[in-house]
Structure formats: structure tokens, C-alpha cells
Amino acid sequence: MHETPQSQHEWLARMVGKWTCEMECSMGPDQPPIKSTGTEETHTLGGLWVVSCGTMSMPGGDEGKSMMTLGFSPRSGKFVGSFHASMMTQQWIYCGSLDESGKILTLDTEGLNFTQTALARYQDVIEIPSADVRTMYSQILQEDGTWLRFMNMTYRRIG
């Protein structure tokens, strides 16, 4: 089996490279924001997948590691992937699409809510405004039907 990369795979390939990142995250409405910095390296698997491996500073001086895989399924017409991190046991499974402008990728997923009492819908939203900058934010769907943004990241290319 040999798949040919589509334009959606080319969009993902814009993430390939070495990056520094800055993050601001709040893990609940009564929690103060946490700021951290890190690095990420993203490579491609045959032009069909991108794999991003990151390292971030954590509160208390610890180091967190993460891995994200993203691809595009021509059969479903959806972006697919997963996210794993050393500070959690949750495996996040993505399914998403680009907006009409072709500039913003919204990845839907689900996991436990902040109180760990029920499943909740989440979104990770990626935008690549230039060759050297990309952003991502995460949000959770609240009980009242509104989205609460709780994490913002900015990546800057270093290689």
C-alpha cells in the first residue's frame, strides 16, 4: 500500500522543524495561570504524518514530555491523530478539520473534565500564520454550552 500526500498533508508539513514554545495554562476556574517554556521537534513520516516531540518546564522544576501525531485520512476527509504526555495517563484521540479559510485546524477530542468526574469535549486549535510562528490553544466545552479556553501556546521556529 502506498498513499500519496494530499494538500492537507502539505499543510501539516509546515509544522516540521525545531521550535521554542511558550505556554500559559489554567487548569480550572479558580486556578492561577501557569507559565512555562520548552522546545519541540517535529518530523514527518513519509509525508503522511507529522510527529512532534516536546519538552516543557513544569511547576516545581520538573520536566514534562509530550508527543503528538497528526495525519489526514482521505477516506474520512478528516485530520486524525493523538496526543500523549508524561504528566497524564489520558490518551487524547483527535479528529478534526480545517476551517473554510484553510488556515485554522480544529481537532476535536474528549477526556475527563477538570474535576475528573465526567467526560468532556475538548478542542485543540492550531494556526500557522507564518513560516516561523504557529499557535495552538486548548478549550473545554462547559455545561452551559460555551467553550472555555484554558491553554495558549506560541511556537517560534529555531531550525
Q: How far is CA 67 from each of CA 24, 29, 51, 87, 117, rounded to the nearest angstrom?
A: 19, 27, 7, 12, 25
**61-89: pLDDT as tens digits:** 889 999 999 999 999 999 999 999 998 99
Nearest to 33 by CA among 123, 150, 153: 150
Confidence of residue 1 (pLDDT cuts 50, 70, 90): low
Helix, strand, or coil here: 123?
Answer: strand
The stretch 85-98 carries a mean pLDDT of 95
d(CA 139, CA 121): 9
Find how far residue 60's CA is from the centre of its chain.
Answer: 24
pTM: 0.94
| Amino acid identity for residue 36 in this structure | S
The stretch 99-120 carries a mean pLDDT of 92
d(CA 12, CA 52): 11
pLDDT for residue 30 is more than 80: no
**116-156: pLDDT as tens digits:** 888 999 999 999 999 999 999 999 999 899 999 999 999 99
What's 7-24+33-157's CATH class?
A: mainly beta
